[in-house]
Amino acid sequence: MADSICFINQKGGCGKSSTCFHLAGAFAAAGLRVLLIDADPQGSTSQGLLGSIAVEQLTIEQTTAGLFDEQNFFGDLSKIIRTTRFDGISLAPANQHLSRFNSPCPEQTGMDQFAMRDFIAQQVEADIVLIDCPPNLYRCSWNSMVAADYVVIPVPPEDFGTQGLRAVHQAVLNARKLNPDLRRLGHVVTRSDKRLLIHRSYEAKLRDTYADLVFSTVIPEASAFKVATACRKPVEYYQPSSVAASLTRALAREILDRISMKNKLRHVA
Ligand SMILES: Nc1ncnc2c1ncn2[C@@H]1O[C@H](COP(=O)(O)OP(=O)(O)OP(=O)(O)O)[C@@H](O)[C@H]1O
Ligand SMILES: [Mg+2]
């Protein structure tokens, strides 16, 4: 069974998609078979790999919306997964079709709460599953938490970035009622600018509050991430010698350490 991690924070723009996308590159380059699941109707991760026009044109059955659509009940869910031009990275894309399924009261959706979990259980080809969630705690995030083994919480070291954390932690506790093994793997400080005193002090405060539940690796605000995304490549493939790529590898290693998957790692720079 693959280890699955969902990236959750209801704060928009905190780096959930970016972290997922670039980590996928680091894991794949290290020899893992990665399945990226886009659980966000914005489809950022999907666009990062396929381009926005191609993503817009995908039908419900070709996207994660197919998991929730009653009309696709007997559909072939394997149609949702596609290979990408990067060895070892496959993608379950999302687009605008997912919006109408992302309802705000997910606990009332009965057995549909397990749709993502059942889908992931069928993915025997993957070593690791990364689920990119939207900036809210509605049905897509809920389904992801019910499905996943772990939660990673990307947090920019600023006031607005840290404000919603209690709600995220509460959502994890709630999801444990259906998925008792769900664990918080940690908070990852994202988009950090160490030159800013406010960023340094918020990071210190996070570490004071959550101690080991904060990854040592900090993801900086760096243009290499943006440019790599614009070139539709995880930074590992765009500029492997960059600091951005090296820190993404460090985060990938920490994640694997935390989930004791080191044995699955064939080579790490
Ligand atoms: N470490 C970084 N350095 C530079 N730019 C970044 C970094 N992380 C994210 N960005 C950029 O910031 C923007 C928002 O990032 P991203 O889409 O990953 O956030 P998100 O949390 O997924 O947003 P949403 O909540 O809307 O899903 C994107 O344009 C992305 O390229
Ligand atoms: Mg996103």
pLDDT in tens, 146-205: 999 999 999 999 876 667 899 999 999 999 999 999 999 999 999 999 999 999 999 999
Q: What is the mean pLDDT of residues 209-227?
A: 97
CA of 245 to the centre of ligand 1 (A): 16
At residue 209, the pLDDT reads 93
pLDDT at 265 over 50: no
Percentage, residues of the chain above pLDDT 70? 96
C-beta 15 within 6 A of ligand 1 = yes
At residue 161, the pLDDT reads 63
pLDDT tens digits for 121-144? Answer: 998 889 999 999 999 999 999 999
- Domain residue spans of the chain: 3-263
pLDDT at 207 over 90: yes
Alpha-carbon distances of 17 from 6, 8, 42, 44, 111, rounded to whole Å: 11, 10, 10, 6, 27
pLDDT at 269 over 70: no
Indicate which atom in ligand 1 lies nearest the CA of residue 20: 18
> Cα(5)–Cα(186) distance, rounded to whole angstroms?
11
C-beta 190 within 6 A of ligand 1 = yes
C-beta 47 within 6 A of ligand 1 = no
- Mutate which of 9, 14, 18, 251 to test ligand 1's pocket (most atoms within 8 Å of Cβ)? 18
pLDDT band at 268 (very low <50, low <70, confident <90, very high): very low
C-beta 219 within 6 A of ligand 1 = yes
Instruction: Tell me the fold of 3-263.
Output: Rossmann fold (3.40.50)
